[in-house]
Structure formats: structure tokens, C-alpha cells
Structure 1
């Protein structure tokens, strides 16, 4: 059995190379990945701007509790009674009950670490570009650190998230790793003897963005540690939290934005698949930060002005 597994693993580059060498197959996979990122971002915005969907599918944990508390009113009760009488509302209520523990976030990083490790196993044989290798290494470090944080900064919580969030997260990390492999190898002539020389370049711009990733990595690690040591339901007001609602979200956006530059194929300025991933991350975390901001405003009304001055992500209020 071990021999069969080893043989299957070793034949992986040849099988994948033969498949992706066909341009229609390559284009189909590439556009499919772009569609996933952009449609997921659109779905998040649709839920955000549809109150009935937002209440059911967007908020969780403390934010969900806060949303429930602020919506309690006689008028709201009557509206929800009428709303629940429809078959569509009953269906949405049933779907909203499909939840998983929020601690399952750990699965995202386990998957990403496994995928990145598999890429490293085959990097030389499939001649990944230097850019793709650096990007893959950055993603491996990021996922490994997040996995350690999820296992270490572990507080008992009954918080749950909608199962749709879970599957989107799993797909995101799977497709992001696939993208690095897809655009990091010249599949049309991947087994050419000179491909390692012709496909191995990384300029000053890419190294500069690698420095941005390092800064984002360190900033996010500090923010996560600070939040872990902070007393529960206390307003964070140190480090980047002085200026942003969630500086660790901004660091995440910076990470994927920089990754889309570093992992760009040699003849392009961006890896467009990863840029679509960056758009998804910005939309997703901006909406999440907005919910966090509403929670902060309701829990700390005496510091309302200070909270309102903080940005969600980048220039977004």
C-alpha cells in the first residue's frame, strides 16, 4: 500500500502536466477559480444588503447576539411573525439552522498547510517559478502560524457559524493553493529541459511586496496575541486598534494583495486569480469588520466617537 501511495504521488506532476498542457482545460480551471472568488464576494454583498439574509446568515457569536438584542421591538416582532408565515421564510430559517462550531476554522489552515506541503514536495520536478515558490512559502508560513494560533489561543466558546461560511472557507484555501500551482508553472512546456532557467525570475517589485507580506505577517501575529490576552468583551485600544476596527483584517488583505503581485507569471504584473482572491478577502473582511463595529458601538456607547473614527479596512469607514 505504501508503494502504491508513493507511486501515485510521484506520478502526480506528469498527470497534472499532461492535463494542464491543453489550453482549454487550463483556461477552464483558471476562469472557474476566478468565478468562485468573485461570485462568493457578490454573495456576501447580497447578504449584507438584504436585512433578512443578513440576520440569518451573516452574524454569529457576539455579533449575532447583539443583532438579536437590538432588533427586539413590538413592531419587529409583528414583522417577523408575518415573515415566518411564508414558505420562503421557513425555508431560510431551516437553512440558517445548518451551523458548525466556529472552532472549525482550524480546518481551513490544516487544509492549506497540507496543500502547500504537497507543492513543496513537487516544486523541483514541476519547475515552479521562483515567484511561485516564494508565494507558496509565504502561504505555508501564514497558514502554519494561523493553525498554531487556532490551537493555542483556544478559548471555550459555543459560537457557531453558518455551514455556508465553512464550505466557502474550505474552497478558498483549496483554490488559493491550486492557483499558485496553476500560474506558477509553464504547463505548456513544463517538462522542457530549459524551463527551470527561463521560468525563474523575481524582480525588485516582487521582493518589495514580499517585505509588505512580512510586515503584515508580524502585525497580524501581534494583533491576534493581543486579542487573546485581552479580557473578553473588552474594547481593544492598543497597537493598530487605535486606528482600525480590526487591524488583523487589514493585515490579511495586505497579505493577499501582495501575494497577487509576487505570484504573477513572468509576463504579467499580477496573478489575476489571486487578485480576485484579494477582492474576495477585502469584501468579506470589510463586511465582518462592519459587524464588529456595530457590536462595539452597542457595547461601549461612552466611547462612540472613538469607535466611529476607526476604519474598517483600508480607507473604508
Structure 2
């Protein structure tokens, strides 16, 4: 089959199986983002976006200036969550019927990575949570969006799409052994048994973090203009909604831990990318607040999570 050949060629080129390729994508993306953030000449052109961005020179003076003009509207952030939602629906259908796309990837997981596997119930729970996250964020983007002339670098948009499409696979890839060997039944969707202690603790954490992020987005969208946030969640924290998103992905990595493991390493790599990307953006936001409202206004504020970062 053509799809299987494409997957084989891609993995053969990287000398990795599907699990290692996903982990490498997340980690290399995080490393690349950090690398770009270090030189001021790259950071100011490619990482800063939205209201924090400085205007691009009208006449490009060099290659970096030219590349910086490859921009898309900031409203394209909505595409990330459309991709996330469609990815969740697509892979749910593929997994349920053991479709060609699912088999093309699941059969390319090495024996080493199949020794410990997520259970079918874990796959159902984690895929449902990721679907919930994508649905909520898409609804927020549509409901809370305001007309804006802000723009972002084209590569940032493309990397974001790649991340959400990869996350749609990462959420179930470490359960590929159980998915290949077993068929779904209604029992896997009936939560009649008492949940494990891990699920009992972490699913509520995911939901609480989701609620806090939603409240933060709702508050920010209610501001008539860019002002220093005064909501209790922003008291001493520049971007609590970023911290909430990190907690969301960390809880997914813990809920999705295969049997015998304390964490799902593929989703952990996904979390690392989220933490790095949002952590750098939170730093940019704090610098912007300091320039706009005075350094003393945010001097002792945490970036995302109080007493952590």
C-alpha cells in the first residue's frame, strides 16, 4: 500500500521507529525554538508575534529581514485547533476500524516500545481528553476572537500545525500493541469499574486546569484594550493560561503512562515542546508588560506557574 511505503521510507530515512520519530520531532522542535530565541537578531524577527511584535522594516535589508516578511494573520491560530479536532476524529475512526492509516503507523512501532503498552481504556480516556481540549480551544478561538492586524511568522504557523497533528498520533501510539491485538467493545466505553488512583487524581487535574485556562481566556477577551490584567488568576503571574496548558499536557502524559511506567515518554516529549514554546512566549509577554506599564509593575511576577517558573 502506498501509505505504508511512505511511512516506511520516512522512518527508514531517520533510522527510527514511529515512537522515536514522534519523540524526536517534539524535542528537536523545542531545541530549535530555544536556539532561535538566543540571538536577538533571530528572536525579535521570528519568535515575537501578536501585539508584542515589532513592525517589520518596510524595505528588507537582508535575508533575515526577508524571511521575517513571510507572515500569516495571527487569527490563523484557529487552524491549530481545527487540525487538532479533525486529527482526533480521524484517528478515533481509524483505531475503531483498524484502518490503513492506523496500521501503517502502529505496525511500525518497534518491539522494544511494544513491551509495555497502554490499555484500551487508557487510550479511550486519553483520546477523549485530547478531543475535549481541542474542541474547547477551537470554541474559544471562535467565540473570543477580535478583529486584529497582528501577524506571526509563517514557520511558527506551520510548526503549530505539525505539533497538533503529531499530538493526535502521540496520544495513542504507546498503546499500539493493545490496539493491534484487541478489538474494541462497548465495555471499553463503560466506566463501570472504579478508576485507578492515577486516573482518579489526574483526570480532575486536567479538568481543573482546563477550567482555569478557559476563565483566563474569557477574562483576556473581555478587556477593552491591552491593560495590565487584574483578575485574581493573574495576580503575580504573567501568563497563568500558559501554566494551565502545561498542566493539561503533563496530566495527559501521566494518565497515558503504559503499564509498568510512571509516565508516557512520547507525551512527555510533547509536554516539553509545549513548556518551552509557552515559556519563551511568557518571557516575551513579561518584557512587553515591563516596557508598556513600567518595570516595577511586573518585577516580581512569575512567568506561568507561581513558585515554579
Q: TM-score band (shorter)? A: 0.7 to 0.9
Which runs of structure 2 are paired with 1:278-289 in the superposition (5 Å)?
Answer: 278-289=271-282
Which runs of structure 2 are paired with 1:20-169 in the superposition (5 Å)?
Answer: 28-65=17-54, 84=61, 90-125=62-97, 129-169=120-160
Q: What's 1:6 paired with?
A: none
Q: Is the 8 A contact 2:290 2:296 kept in 1?
A: no
**Aligned pair in 2 of structure 1 residues 55, 151: CA closer, same or farther (>3 Å)?**
same
Higher alpha-carbon deviation: 172-181 or 306-315: 306-315
Q: Which of 247, 260, 268 is residue 254 of structure 1 equivalent to?
A: 247
Structure 1 segments unaligned to the other structure (5+ residues): 1-10, 70-76, 85-89
- Aligned-CA RMSD value: 3.3
Deviation (angstroms), 1:42: 0.9
**Aligned pair in 2 of structure 1 residues 207, 247: CA closer, same or farther (>3 Å)?**
same
**Aligned pair in 2 of structure 1 residues 242, 122: CA closer, same or farther (>3 Å)?**
same
Q: Is the 8 A contact 1:128 1:185 kept in 2?
A: no
**Aligned pair in 2 of structure 1 residues 121, 309: CA closer, same or farther (>3 Å)?**
same
**TM-score scaled to structure 1, two decimals?**
0.78
Which runs of structure 2 are paired with 1:209-228 in the superposition (5 Å)?
Answer: 209-228=202-221
**TM-score scaled to structure 2, two decimals?**
0.80
In 2: Cα distance, 1:218 partner to 1:113 partner: 19
Q: Is the 8 A contact 1:220 1:252 kept in 2?
A: yes
The reply to whether residue 180 of structure 1 matches residue 171 of structure 2 is yes
Q: Which of 175, 190, 208 is residue 180 of structure 2 equivalent to?
A: 190
Higher helix share: 1
Aligned residue pair count:
278
Deviation (angstroms), 1:95: 1.1
Deviation (angstroms), 1:240: 1.2
Deviation (angstroms), 1:27: 5.4
Structure 2 segments unaligned to the other structure (5+ residues): 99-117
Q: Is the 8 A contact 1:112 1:173 kept in 2?
A: yes
Q: Deviations over 1:290-312 (max 9, x none)?
A: 111011111111xx434122111
In 2: Cα distance, 1:234 partner to 1:193 partner: 53
Higher Cα Rg, which structure: 1
